[in-house]
Every structure is written in structure tokens, then in C-alpha cells.
Chains A and B, each alone.
Chain A
């Protein structure tokens, strides 16, 4: 069974204090790893897709990287508007279009 674990569960940062979120996965044949941002009471917002180890994607203050066992979401010089829950999800070989989500990391950036 595919498993996705995110750490830490919660992260409190001062504005400008860079940090990284971790997503470790155990799957049979990774086809893609996805990062989403979710604000309270809203649907997840798609951020990145990563397909193979060594791949990196960037968007504004966010940078996602992928290894054979885990992915990192680096937040550089965060601002209060970066406060959200960040979700990692995987799509694996036998699962068709199914996404398996991790538990998420709740990020709070204080001014």
C-alpha cells in the first residue's frame, strides 16, 4: 500500500525565516509527486508536479525537490501570506489516477 508521510505536522516561522517541509513516500513505482497549498475552508491549490529524482521546480518563494525516497518544499524568506497547509500527494504505478495524500504541514508565518 502506498504511504506518504509529511513532517513536521506544524511549523511556526518568523517572516523572513527560511525553512523546509519534508514529504517521505513508500510507493510501488512513483509516477508523480504533487505539492498543493490549502487555505482554511478552501480547496487545495496546485503548486508543482515532480516526476523523477533530481528534479526541481520553483515558484516565487517556493522550491520543490525530489529524491528517490522523499521530497522537500523549501520556503525562502516567507511572508505572512505563505501561511497555509501544504499537502504532498503521490500517484503510483498501479493506482491509475488515484492521488494518495500525506497528512499535511500547517505553516504559520508571523510578521
Chain B
């Protein structure tokens, strides 16, 4: 099983809403990532969790709040987002170290 599963696939939320994106992997990977991707741009790293601890935060605004409840799950809690936060949000996982990361299919987020 080389799959990273993200839910939901699509999300429309208002600027005052609170929502969460979920990510799950069962490959035993110890590193999990959140990326943001705008149209026709490469993915931009937001957060990295290594062994369930936050190891990298790329100066992401506090309206994005990551959580890693266990080694298989990664959440991204969203609150008071802006329209410019509309993007494809990608979760990825890897063994850690210098190996390729496996990406999920993403959540297409639209903030209205």
C-alpha cells in the first residue's frame, strides 16, 4: 500500500468558518508534510512532522494549525481563512531521511 489518503477532496468554506483537512497513511512512514499549491506553481512547504513532532514550520500564518494525533494521521485545522488561501492542499509522507515522499491527491480548498 503506497497510498496517502486525503479528505475531503473538495472544500468550500466561508471566511468565518472552522474546518479541518485530514490525511492518512499506512506505510509506516515517520515523516508527514503539508504543502500548499497554487495554480501553475510548484508545491510550497507549510509544515513537517517527524516522529509525530513538528519539526518545520515555514512561517505559516496561525490561521493554519497542524496536528499529528498519531504516526498515521495528520490534520490541518483551518480558521478565519482569506480568499487568497484558496489552493490545492497536499499531504505527503516519507520514511524520513533522503527518500522520495509520496503525495496524496490533495484537497481543493475554496474560501469565499
- Residues of A at the B interface (CB closer than 8 Å) are 31-32, 34, 36, 41-46, 48-49, 51, 87, 89, 91, 96-99, 101-104
Distance in angstroms from A11 CB to nearest chain B CB is 15
> Can you list, as one digit per residue, whether each of B95-107 has a CB less than 8 Å from chain A (1) or not (0)?
0111111111110
- Residues of B at the A interface (CB closer than 8 Å) are 4, 6, 31, 33, 41-45, 48, 50, 55-56, 88, 90, 92, 94, 96-106, 108
Q: Could you tell me the distance between the alpha carbons of A96 and B98 in the complex, rounded to whole angstroms?
A: 9
Interface SS, B side: strand
Known: A49-B100, A51-B98, A101-B42. Contact between A42 and B106, CB under 8 A? Answer: yes
Contact between chains at A41 and B88 (CB < 8 Å): yes
**20 A-B pairs whose Cβ atoms sit less than 8 Å apart in the complex:** A34-B101, A36-B103, A41-B88, A42-B105, A43-B6, A43-B90, A43-B104, A43-B106, A46-B102, A49-B99, A51-B98, A87-B42, A96-B50, A97-B48, A97-B50, A97-B55, A97-B56, A97-B96, A97-B97, A98-B45
Contact between chains at B104 and A103 (CB < 8 Å): no
Q: Could you tell me the distance between the alpha carbons of A98 and B49 in the complex, rounded to whole angstroms?
A: 11
